[in-house]
Amino acid sequence: MKLETRNFYCMFYDVIVIGAGLAGLMAAEAARGKGARVLILARGMGSLPLTSGCIDGLGYFPSSSPAPVPSPLTTLGQFGDFQPRHPYSKVGKERILSALDRFRDLTRSGAVPYAGRFDSNFLIPTALGTYHPTCLVPETMKNGVLSLPGRVLLLGFEGLKDFSAFLAAENLNLLQARGQIAPSFRAKTLANPGWGGKALNSLNLAEALDEEAFRDRFARQVQPLLKGGEKLGLPAVLGFRSSHRAWTDLQEKLGTEIFEIPLPPPSIPGIRLYNLMRARLQEKGVRTIIGLSVLKPMIEGGEMRGLALGESRKSPIYRASAYVLATGKFVGGGLDAQRNRVCETLFDLPVQYPQNRKEWFNTQLLTPAGQPFNSFGVEVNEDLQPIDPAGKVVYRNLFAAGGILAHADSMAEKSGGGVAISTGYVAGELAAKTK
Ligand SMILES: Cc1cc2nc3c(=O)[nH]c(=O)nc-3n(C[C@H](O)[C@H](O)[C@H](O)COP(=O)(O)OP(=O)(O)OC[C@H]3O[C@@H](n4cnc5c(N)ncnc54)[C@H](O)[C@@H]3O)c2cc1C
């Protein structure tokens, strides 16, 4: 077990957040903002490296709808009627907007500023040449929004398996021909980015593009490929530590607008966001312990009393006035499925799912209506406290946020980031007020 420990060492906190995904990081940010001493305990870094790095607000409603939602904010007006148990309905419009504003301000204070708001969706291109509705994007992606007309050169790297510029351009041009998007595309592949014998993958490319000398050489190779007035679309590898600088610098060198297109995992924009949020929290004195294999809750008198880092009697115990559970769903590790049972892995909290196993899955794997198991999770009240089937609060000082919550299908609705940020923010603030 590799433990990472930073900042002040103390076993007593105001708030312990369990989970270091987007919901947990946002909960820690909100609790620290209220003056709480905060500790994050987590097994791993969560799902951000799997995501596009964009924050989906609400892409489709109902989730089976073929057309993307133009404005998550406007559509939210219908949520209370149709989805009263959805986490967005519990948190409410005002708190969602405050949370997303806070997130955007946080990113703008660092090296990965985000653009966009909850009031309108962007359609951004995917590596396969489809579109993805999302509402907050790293600035390095905003010039690729598909409502902006113009001509685009998509540039791939020969040997980079995760991105075929030709496939993406062909599919995007089909969408343009159907009038679904504005710009038109053509594709080129760069044969040799000129960096010696390193393996050609997104991480190595991103690290190379952090270096100005490499960007100089890259710009000299790309310039002759660009036609006048064309924008440049690149896979999302524009720098690892200093993406915004790399993006601005390349735009200046090439004299045109550039944008990144998200790639399959590992996602460089997702890792950039994780690194930014974690570094900000550490600067503010939030302690993080990541890499835990065993966390054992200690419960007494209807409340959480502590978390032991291991099974032995000598294991260190961390205590707090309140706890935020942000352990995600099946991918994050917060939920697990046995043959006839779905369980919450840490506290064995009641989980919402149909008793008949046949209702867990849709036999068609990739259906727009989504898979029922993606909406399983823990039921909470409006203060995001887990409740039992009778509506009774399970532990007075426990709050839950993000993917672990029931009734949101982030895959079909495209709402994962928005739900994680808004519920994380609210749970963090409420936990900080709990004595
Ligand atoms: C492949 C994929 C792509 C996606 N793409 C996007 C996208 O582009 N945009 C978007 O908005 N959303 C996307 N989503 C959805 C989004 O990732 C999630 O909705 C959101 O990140 C959930 O965040 P979370 O913090 O709740 O959980 P997670 O990110 O899953 O984090 C869970 C955390 O809890 C920890 N943990 C779990 N169990 C324990 C335990 N017992 N003890 C200690 N720690 C524990 C984990 O180690 C981790 O740190 C995607 C999801 C997937 C799976």
Task: Write out pLDDT tens, residues 259-308.
Answer: 999 999 999 999 999 999 999 999 999 999 999 988 999 999 989 999 99
Q: How far is the CA of 169 from the centre of ligand 1 (A)?
A: 30
Q: What is the pLDDT of residue 7?
A: 37
**CA distance readout (Å), 367 to 330, 376, 409, 413:** 19, 17, 13, 12
Residue 56 CA, closest ligand 1 atom number = 11
CB atoms within 10 A of CB 200: 14
Quote the DSSP letter at residue 424.
H
Kindly report, residue by residue over 8-34, the tens digit of the pLDDT.
Answer: 344 899 999 999 999 999 999 999 999
pLDDT tens for 350-386 read: 998 888 888 888 888 777 778 889 999 999 999 999 9
Which residue(s) pair with 234 in the sheet? 260
User: What's this model's pTM, rounded to 2 decimal places?
Assistant: 0.96
Q: What does the angle CA 210 – CA 267 – CA 159 come to, to the nearest 5 degrees?
A: 75
Q: What is the mean pLDDT of residues 64-72?
A: 94
Nearest residue (by CA) to ligand 1, atom 18, is: 416
Residue 5 has pLDDT above 80, yes or no: no
Q: Count the Cβ atoms, other than its own, within 10 Å of residue 340.
A: 9
- Give whole-number Cα distances, 124 to 58, 83, 221, in Å: 14, 27, 26
pLDDT band for position 1 (cuts 50, 70, 90): very low
Q: Which of 26, 100, 325, 410 to mutate to test the pocket of ligand 1 (most atoms within 8 A of CB)?
A: 410
- Taking only the tens place, the pLDDT of each residue in 408-434 is 999 999 999 999 999 999 999 999 999
Find out whether 240 and 53 touch, Cβ atoms under 8 Å.
Answer: no
Residue identified by tokens 């089909």 is: 174
Instruction: Please report which helix (H) or strand (E) contains residue 271, including its range.
Output: helix 268-283
Residue 239 pLDDT exceeds 70: yes
Q: 23 C-alpha to center of ligand 1: Å? A: 8
Distance, CA 19 to ligand 1 centroid (Å)? Answer: 9
Report in angstroms the alpha-carbon separations of 10 from 5, 15, 94, 321, 350.
Answer: 11, 12, 35, 14, 32
pLDDT digits (tens, 9 = 90+) for 45-58: 999 999 999 999 99
What's the token pair of residue 142?
């905003």
Please state, rounded to an integer, the average pLDDT across all residues of the chain: 93
